[in-house]
Chain A
C-alpha cells in the first residue's frame, strides 16, 4: 500500500482507483501516518523544514578534512568543493532518511523531526514584550490556577507561574 501512497502523492493514480485509495487512507491510521511522514520527508528534501538538518550539514562540511593533493587541470577546485558538498549533504540526508524510516514510532515522532530545534522562535511574542504595564497578570493567574485540571495533577507547582511574572516586571 505504501507504493499506492507514493503514487497518490505524485498524482499518478487513475480516477477510478482514487476513491478507493482515499477511503483506505481515511479508515487506516497507519496509512495516514505514512502519508504524513512521506510529505515530511518530501518537505525536508526540498528544504522546507528542519533547519537543524541544514546546519548539521554545514557543520559536517566544516569538519571534513581538506585534501591538499594535485588536481587534474580539467576539473576546477571550485567544482570539486561543490561536488563534495552535494555528496556530503546527500550522505547526511540519507542517514536521516534511514533513521526516520527505521523508527517505527507513532505520529508524534514525525512531528518531532519537523519541529524547530529551539523553543525561542514561537509564534506569539512572550508576555514581557506585549503586556500593558497597568495589568498585573499575577493576580489573574493566582485566581485561575486552582481551577486547572492539569494543574491539579501537579499539586502546588504551577503556582510558580505567577512568580516568574513578578520577576520579569522587577527586571524591567
Chain B
C-alpha cells in the first residue's frame, strides 16, 4: 500500500482508544466516595499549590457540623490572605488592599444535589479508571485517572485516601501530559477534634472599616436581556445563570457550563471607561484559561479550568440580540 494511505489510516486510528473506551465502575465509585468525603469530613492540614513555576503553601481547616461545614483557607506564602467558606457564602479577607469580598451562594450551591447527574455527564466526557496505590502526606491513597475523550477538557490524576476517600492530591495535565497545576497535602489530620478558634479569620477585628464588595448574585434568565450562547463544546451543558456585581459594575451576567467535572463561566459586563484599557484575547494561569472579547458595547470574559479551545469556542458563541 502507499505510504500516504497508510499515514491517513494511522491518523484516523490514533485518537480512537480514549474516545470509545469504557470507564471502570469501581473508579466511578471512588469519585462518589471523594465527593461524599468532601461533604462529611473534618480535617486540618497544609497543602501546596503548584502552577507554572510557582509553588505556594496554604493551611486549611474544615469542620463539619450540624449547621453545615465551615472551612478556612490561610495563605502562608507571599501576601497574607484568608478565605472563609461556610454553607452559603465565601468571604475573602484581603489585608493588602483592606478589602473584604463576599460571594453569597444564596442556597443555590450546586453540590452535591446533582451528583448522580453530574457523574453521568462526566462519564460521557472522560474515561475514568483506577491507577496504582500511592502515599501522600503519610496516608495510603488510590490513584484515579480521568482521561478526556476529546481536546475540550484536561486530564486529571487524583489520589484519594483509602479509608476515608478524602482527596489528598489532584493534578491537571494537558494533551501532552504536561502538568498544568497540582494540589497536594504535605501534612494532614483527618477527623478528631477541631478547635473552633482555628476557624476564625485572623483579620476579623482589623477588618471593621475595610471596603466590602458583595457579589449580590441573583439567579436570572439572561436570554430576557438578549444574551444567549449559541453552542458549546460537546459534553458541556448550562448549569445556571445569574447576575452579580463584579469589578464595581452591578447586573453583570454570569452563565455557567459544566461537563460534570470542569466548569466554564461566561461573564458579560458593560464596556465603560474603567475597563477601556482592556485587551481582547487569551491568557492562562495554571489550568485556568481566560478569553475576552467585545460584543456590542460589552466585554465577554470566559473563564474555565479547560483548554483554550473550549473557552474560545464558548466566548465566540456568545450572541447579543437587543431586547
Chain A to chain B contacts (Cβ below 8 Å), 22 pairs:
A36-B17, A108-B147, A114-B176, A119-B179, A119-B180, A120-B52, A139-B247, A141-B288, A142-B90, A143-B267, A146-B103, A146-B105, A146-B109, A147-B240, A149-B122, A156-B72, A156-B83, A161-B51, A161-B285, A164-B56, A166-B94, A170-B79
Across the interface, which residues of B come within 8 angstroms of A124, CB to CB?
A: 282, 284, 289, 308
* Interface size of B in residues (CB-CB distance below 8 Å): 99
Identify the stretch in B8-16, B190-198, B204-212 within 8 Å (CB) of chain A at 4 or more residues.
B8-16
- Alpha-carbon distance between A101 and B47 when the two chains are bound, in angstroms: 36
| Contact A164–B265 (Cβ < 8 Å) | no
Query: Which secondary structure characterizes the binding site on chain A?
Result: helix
Name B49's contact: one of A121, A136, A157 (CB within 8 Å).
A157
Mark contacts of A12-41 with chain B using CB atoms, 8 A cut-off: 1 yes-contact digit, 0 otherwise.
010100100010011001001101100000
**Chain B's nearest CB lies how many Å from the CB of A91?**
26
* Alpha-carbon distance A46/B158, docked complex (angstroms): 33
Identify which of A137, A147, A154 contacts B110 (C-beta below 8 A): A147
Q: How far is the CA of A32 from the CA of B112 in the complex (A)?
A: 37
Which residues on B are within 8 Å of A, measured CB to CB? 1, 3, 6, 9, 13-14, 16-18, 21, 31, 34-35, 38, 47, 49, 51-54, 56, 58, 60, 62, 71-73, 75, 77-79, 81, 83, 85, 90, 92, 94, 96, 101, 103, 105, 109-112, 118, 122, 129, 131, 145, 147, 156, 158, 167, 170, 174, 176-180, 183, 215, 217, 239-240, 244, 246-247, 254, 256, 258, 260-263, 265, 267, 274-279, 281-286, 288-290, 292, 301, 303-305, 308
